[in-house]
Amino acid sequence: MKSLVALVLLAQLLSCKAGLVPDIPPEVLPHKHLACDDPETEAAAAVAVNYINNRLKHGYKLVLNRIEKVVEHERRPHGKILELELDLLETVCHIVSPMPAENCTVRERTQHAVEADCDVKLLKDNGPYKVLLSKCHSSPDSHEDLVKFCPNCSPLSLLNDSNVVNTVNAALAKYNAINTTQGHYELLEIARGQHSHLANSWYVEFAIINTNCSAQHAKEHKEDCHVETGENQHFGFCKATFTKSLVEGTEDHQDVDCIVYDHQAGVAHVHLIEEHLKGNLGQAGRGYTFHNIIHSHNSTSHSHSHSDEVVPVEKVSALVKRAVFVALPDCPGRYRHYDI
Ligand SMILES: *[C@@H]1O[C@H](CO)[C@@H](O)[C@H](O)[C@H]1NC(C)=O
Ligand SMILES: *[C@@H]1O[C@H](CO)[C@@H](O)[C@H](O)[C@H]1NC(C)=O
Ligand SMILES: *[C@@H]1O[C@H](CO)[C@@H](O)[C@H](O)[C@H]1NC(C)=O
Ligand SMILES: *[C@@H]1O[C@H](CO)[C@@H](O)[C@H](O)[C@H]1NC(C)=O
Ligand SMILES: *[C@@H]1O[C@H](CO)[C@@H](O)[C@H](O)[C@H]1NC(C)=O
């Protein structure tokens, strides 16, 4: 390495002495293009998706569907910055589930898919890719598209729809009433609600958390019950349906199925619990934008250029001429799940 630097310096010295413009090494091209499905782009995308999943504040874990765009910038004096545009898809694993996102099933299109468009900036400098910034916007597939390819599918309802909220509350009350051995659970987040016009039913999915109350205590003194913290904390996830009877004299039908996860050390979901304590239910959901920016004094996202790092204008134009010979980018990449 040292000898290489010495050689470069020597070469520059010689060329200066000879009155020549030093040759610009090809690696300072400002916008070199990697193909979207290059293994290197995929490796960076995997780092980005993992980063995004670890910082999700609501809803479900995401997986990569397609790499839309990749732009590579060389960074002086060394390293490089990659800008990615990614399409992610919602899986069936809620963020409180301990299942790694890679193992989660992607939500089927017939269940009304939700997509997230993400812009991510990563740095690579003597090590693996590191995310500097990510910004995502999630939105469900359009209602029209869903109905077009699946006329009988149930579209997503708003999470604050009163039928959805009532179905969730009734389902959790039923779960708490039946399941008396494991203490009293509270609602953490409503994650999905769908209405089937055909069946006259509502389908909901929601996350729960345990409290420090037994079922009996909760019945008498609900005000004493606090969300558990520390080693006793357990998250859970429920699916429930409520079918309204269309026939006079027959009962409405209610079904609830919950799974309670083992305590996960170091996983607190502080944000969800804060929202829960504020009573902000139903505000979480789709059509929202989430940002994650690493703020750090030695962040390199806006590298401070020293004068010796600046490429003079005439040299940049020389680079642009040279860039004409760079192969056209092979983007967007392939769909890993489905075209939405
Ligand atoms: C996730 O998938 C990997 C590879 O298929 C497997 O080895 C691992 O056991 C799975 N983990 C869970 C929690 O299912
Ligand atoms: C439900 O949510 C929608 C979208 O977030 C909002 O426009 C509407 O005001 C909310 N309705 C209620 C009753 O809170
Ligand atoms: C639950 O915790 C709160 C706060 O620590 C406490 O005030 C309350 O008495 C506890 N409830 C029970 C049933 O132990
Ligand atoms: C109570 O909860 C546990 C764990 O979630 C579950 O296995 C069990 O079937 C539940 N019991 C009833 C009666 O619902
Ligand atoms: C700078 O980066 C190093 C290594 O990533 C880290 O340990 C250190 O805390 C950072 N310093 C500041 C001021 O952020």
Q: What is the pLDDT of residues 93-136, one digit of tens each?
A: 999 999 999 999 999 999 999 999 999 999 999 899 999 999 99
Among candidate residues 222, 204, 203, the one with its CA nearest the CA of residue 213:
222
DSSP 272: H
Nearest ligand, measured from the Cα of 299: 5
Residue 163 near ligand 2, beta carbon < 6 Å: no
Among candidate residues 289, 322, 324, 32, the one with its CA nearest the CA of residue 136:
289
| Integer Cα distance of 212 and 91 in angstroms | 31
Tens-digit pLDDT profile for residues 253-262: 999 999 999 9
302 against 50, higher pLDDT: 50
Among candidate residues 120, 96, 100, the one with its CA nearest the CA of residue 284:
96
pLDDT band for position 66 (50/70/90)? very high
**Whether the Cβ atoms of residue 96 and residue 235 lie closer than 8 Å to each other:** yes
- Asked if pLDDT for residue 176 goes beyond 80, the answer is yes
Residue 54 alpha carbon to ligand 5 centre in Å:
20
Nearest ligand, measured from the Cα of 104: 1
Start-to-end Cα distance in the chain: 48
Give the number of the atom of ligand 2 that is nearest the alpha carbon of residue 285.
Answer: 5
What residue owns the CA closest to ligand 4's atom 2? 179
Residue 309 alpha carbon to ligand 1 centre in Å:
46
| Integer Cα distance of 330 and 34 in angstroms | 8
Range 100-104 contact pairs with CB under 8 angstroms and sequence separation of 24 or more: 101/49, 101/50, 101/53, 101/61, 101/62, 101/63, 102/63, 104/61, 104/63
What residue owns the CA closest to ligand 1's atom 4? 103
Cα–Cα distances in Å, from 96 out to 65, 188, 315, 316?
A: 22, 10, 52, 49
DSSP 249: T
Tens-digit pLDDT profile for residues 264-291: 888 878 878 887 777 665 444 444 455 5
| Radius of gyration for the chain, computed over Cα atoms and rounded to the nearest angstrom | 27
DSSP letters for 91-142: EEEETTS-S-GGGSPBPPGGGT-EEEEEEEEEEESSSS-EEEEEEEEEEEPP
| Integer Cα distance of 69 and 72 in angstroms | 10
Single pTM value for the model: 0.77
- Among 107-111, 138-142, 237-241, which stretch is predicted with the lowest mean pLDDT? 138-142
pLDDT band for position 175 (50/70/90)? very high
Among candidate residues 130, 135, 136, the one with its CA nearest the CA of residue 298:
130
Residue 102 alpha carbon to ligand 5 centre in Å:
30
Residue 218 near ligand 3, beta carbon < 6 Å: no
pLDDT of amino acid 322: 42
Instruction: Report residue 153 CA to chain centroid gap.
Output: 25
